[in-house]
């Protein structure tokens, strides 16, 4: 019996005549399992969004963040499709994840290739991940118009690809591309594509609403019917073109899907994917599904903002669950009621998702949050002290000016210590700097000169660099190394610039976010100015001073 005939004959044995009726032989009742597997595809599907481009370092950092959040699977990309993903998977081989399993993504074999000769399948195996996901065609329109192969050959391609990968990789997920459109067109054929993957041993059959055009009631109806016609666990992969990606994911789970794919913050092609930031708490807090442990769920807000920062997006303060306005109350009856009982105007406790309640007209709320933050840093604050009031006023002033301390907690801790401790956290004094740019037809030259005072001694030095910020950074380190040798350990990990108000054009205010690190830690700092060099200087100085403060603290 040839492989090209085997799957189709097997499918005929299922006695499918009028779909979506079940086969004549009743299936054993499925055991109820309250667990929902969370599968993140921010690093692959999310990067297809307009204006998003993650570097390899960004992808590694996001992987760590998603692992720290406790997601079950993290899809890293499509190995072999581009040099960036090749480098990413090479780097990830030496990384150990605590909670997540890394997934490589690809397609079924080509019509003219055997599995072991197919470059896409070979690249998936070479990636060395414990799990892989491949997609195949479920809609006859795509089989005949895009692939241009007979319907039976498409079933062979699915079957051959899954069975080949099952011999090489622990876990194989099958993404049924355009499944809902395909099912509406021809339910019998759409189910045959699932059965081809099921017979080959796929661990989960993921139903994809690839065009994002199916509405929640139809998602629920089709998932219910598919659950009755297959024995393998069902997943959902929803796009947001109709604005119902989250709702579709929830409806699929309500009808028995036990695997949900999506992206953090809903990043994705066109209108994006289902936003896991909304899906996860809905499942955990409202549907009593086992998703993330409570201690991990509390990291949701932080993770969302971190990934917004790396994508160089401002993010939405009105984002459900995690936005800064999600639990903000402004005056009148709402504030009065919430102060008596938060349940009057809040659908969940913001603490459960790592967010906080904000009473916009009350200084007491800001004071309490400030004291809680100080406690995290080991700083004791008297709520009635003048220093707390001064610090609160300064924080409000800085936030109004454009500072944001998410992802820049080192700058926030330094600011707090400078405001409340007798000994100021300052290790040098800037007397002045100058940056010179010179360009001829072929080359651009940059030099920075800097004058500092350290412990009463003046240091005056210069350095060239690859642009003004790099030259300034090199000159600063050169001036300080003789006084603080440990600064040799500090490396610049990431540097991002965001325009805060675009109306002024090239004169707009910018925010610079810098991530630095040494042998043991990483920390973020921030600077804001209409001058990008000044904003960069602020963030660079905070990064070095935090290192010196950290070293001093460790010696005590």
**pLDDT tens sequence for the chain (556 residues):** 344 444 443 444 444 334 444 444 444 545 557 999 999 999 999 999 999 999 999 999 999 999 999 999 999 999 988 899 999 999 999 999 999 999 999 999 999 999 999 999 999 999 999 999 999 999 999 999 999 999 999 999 999 999 999 999 999 999 999 999 999 999 999 999 999 999 999 999 999 999 999 999 999 999 999 999 999 999 999 999 999 999 999 999 999 999 999 999 999 999 999 999 999 999 999 999 999 999 999 999 999 999 998 998 878 889 999 998 899 876 556 666 776 788 888 999 999 999 988 765 334 445 655 676 677 677 777 777 777 777 778 777 887 788 877 668 888 888 888 777 765 667 899 999 999 998 887 788 899 999 999 989 999 999 999 889 999 999 999 999 999 999 999 998 889 898 887 667 777 889 999 999 998 888 999 999 999 999 999 999 999 999 999 888 887 6
CATH 3.30.160 fits 428-483, yes or no: yes
- Among residues 238, 151, 232, the alpha carbon closest in space to that of 197 is found at 232
Contacts with 471 (C-beta within 8 Å, 6 or more apart), sequence order? 435, 446, 447, 448, 463, 464, 465
Pick among 3.20.20.70, 3.50.50.60, 3.90.1570.10, 3.40.50.1000: CATH of 34-292: 3.20.20.70
Domain ranges of the chain: 34-292, 428-483
**497: buried, middle or exposed (CB in 10 Å: 19+, 13-18, 0-12)?**
middle
Count the alpha carbons within 13 Å of 104 in the hemisphere toward its beta carbon: 30
Are 255 and 226 spatial neighbours (Cβ–Cβ below 8 Å)? no
The dihedral region occupied by 366, where left means phi > 0, alpha psi between -120 and 50, and beta the remainder, is alpha
Structure tokens at 207: 């139903």
pTM (2 decimals)? 0.68
Give the DSSP letter string of 253-288.
Answer: HHTT--EEEEBGGG--STT-B-BHHHHHHIIIIIS-
The dihedral region occupied by 321, where left means phi > 0, alpha psi between -120 and 50, and beta the remainder, is left
H or E element in which residue 55 lies: none
Structure tokens at 504: 């002024």
Count the alpha carbons within 13 Å of 483 in the hemisphere toward its beta carbon: 18
């Amino acid at each position: 019996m040839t492989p090209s005939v085997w799957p189709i004959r097997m499918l005929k044995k299922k006695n499918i005549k009028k779909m979506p009726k079940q086969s004549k032989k009743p299936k054993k009742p499925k055991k109820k399992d309250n667990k929902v597997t969370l599968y993140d595809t921010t690093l692959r599907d999310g990067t297809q969004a307009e204006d998003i481009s993650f570097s390899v370092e960004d992808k590694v950092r996001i992987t760590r963040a998603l692992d720290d959040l406790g997601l079950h699977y993290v899809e890293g990309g499509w190995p072999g499709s581009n040099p960036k993903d090749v480098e990413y998977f090479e780097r990830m081989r030496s990384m150990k994840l605590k909670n997540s399993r890394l997934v490589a993504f690809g397609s079924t074999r080509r019509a003219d290739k055997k599995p072991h000769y197919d470059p896409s399948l070979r690249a998936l195996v070479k990636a060395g991940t414990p799990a892989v996901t491949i997609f195949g065609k479920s809609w006859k329109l795509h089989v005949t118009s895009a692939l241009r192969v007979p319907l039976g050959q498409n079933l062979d391609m699915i079957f051959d690809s899954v069975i080949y990968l099952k011999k090489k990789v622990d876990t194989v997920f099958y993404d049924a591309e355009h499944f809902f459109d395909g099912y509406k067109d021809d339910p019998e054929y759409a189910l045959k594509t699932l059965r081809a993957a099921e017979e080959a041993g796929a661990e989960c059959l993921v139903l994809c609403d690839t065009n994002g055009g199916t509405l929640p009631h139809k998602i629920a109806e089709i998932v219910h019917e598919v659950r009755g016609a297959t024995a393998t666990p069902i997943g959902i992969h929803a796009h947001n073109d109709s604005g119902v990606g989250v709702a579709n994911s929830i409806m699929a789970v309500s009808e028995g899907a036990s695997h949900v794919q999506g992206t953090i913050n809903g990043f994705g092609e066109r209108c994006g994917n289902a936003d896991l930031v909304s899906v996860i708490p809905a499942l955990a807090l409202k549907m009593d599904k086992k998703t993330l442990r409570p201690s991990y769920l509390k990291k949701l807000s932080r993770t969302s903002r971190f990934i917004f920062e790396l994508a160089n997006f401002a993010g939405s303060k009105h984002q459900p669950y995690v936005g800064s306005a999600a639990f903000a109350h402004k005056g009148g009856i709402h504030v009065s009621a919430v102060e008596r009982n938060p349940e009057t105007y809040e659908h969940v406790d913001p603490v459960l998702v790592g967010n906080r309640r904000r009473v916009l007209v009350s200084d007491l709320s800001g004071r309490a949050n400030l004291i809680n933050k100080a406690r995290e840093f080991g700083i004791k604050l008297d709520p009635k002290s003048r220093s707390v009031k001064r610090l609160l006023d300064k924080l409000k002033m800085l936030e109004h000016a454009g500072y944001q301390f998410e992802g820049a907690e080192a700058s926030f801790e330094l600011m707090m210590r400078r405001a409340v401790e007798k000994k100021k956290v300052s290790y040098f004094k800037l007397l002045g700097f100058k940056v010179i740019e010179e360009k001829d037809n072929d080359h651009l030259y940059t030099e920075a000169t800097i004058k500092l005072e350290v412990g009463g001694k003046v240091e005056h030095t210069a350095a060239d660099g690859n642009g003004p910020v790099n030259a300034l950074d090199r000159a600063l380190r050169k001036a300080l190394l003789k006084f603080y040798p440990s600064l040799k350990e500090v490396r610049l990990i990431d540097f991002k610039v965001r325009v805060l108000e675009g109306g002024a054009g090239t004169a707009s205010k910018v925010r610079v976010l810098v991530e630095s690190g040494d042998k043991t830690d990483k920390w973020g700092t921030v600077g804001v100015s209409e001058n990008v060099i000044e904003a960069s200087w602020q963030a660079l100085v905070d990064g070095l001073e935090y290192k010196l403060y950290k070293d001093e603290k460790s010696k005590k």
